[in-house]
Amino acid sequence: MSIRKFIVALGLAVVALPASAQSVAGKWNLDMEGMGTLATFDFKVEGDVLTGTSTNAMDGTTSAIEAGKIEGNKITWKQTVDAGGAPMTFGYVGVLEGDKIALTIDLGEAAAAAGGFEMPPMALTRAPQQ
C-alpha cells in the first residue's frame, strides 16, 4: 500500500471513529445529586431511529420510548407515563457528548398543571458494563 493510500485510509478511520464511539445504544442512568439514580434508560438504535424503555428507580415502572430520532449527536424522544391514572407525555432532547447526554425535559401538560414548573437541565451517564 502506498503512503498516500495509507494516509487516506487512516483519515477515513479517524472520521468514522466518533460516530461509532458515540453510539447511544445501551444503558444510561439519570442521576440527580443527593438523590442517586432516578431512572435507567435502555436505548436501542437502528439507523437514525431510537427505541427502548426507561425504568423509574422509585417504583420500578417502565415506559416505552416513542418517536425517537437521532440526528448527529442530538437525540429526541417522547414518553408517555401513567401519572395516577392519567397519561402524561414528556418530550426529551439530548446532546451526546461521549459517555454523557446533556438532557432537557419538556413536561408538556404536567408543567401547566404544576404552575409552569420546568425541569432543570439534567444529564444521563452511561451505566457501567456488567
Question: In angstroms, rounded to a whole number, what is the distance separating the alpha carbons of residues 17 and 20?
Answer: 5
The CATH class for the domain spanning 23-126 reads mainly beta
Q: For the segment 76-109, what is each residue's pLDDT rounded down to a tens digit? A: 999 988 777 888 888 999 999 988 999 888 877 6
Which residues are 62's β-sheet partners? 55
Tens digit of each residue's pLDDT (9 = 90 or more) over 3-12: 443 333 334 3
Phi, psi of 17 (to 5 degrees): -60, -50
Model pLDDT, residue 122: 83
* Nearest CA-CA partner of 26 in 47, 49, 53: 53
Boundaries of every domain in the chain? 23-126
Structure pTM?
0.73
The per-residue pLDDT of the chain, averaged, comes to 78
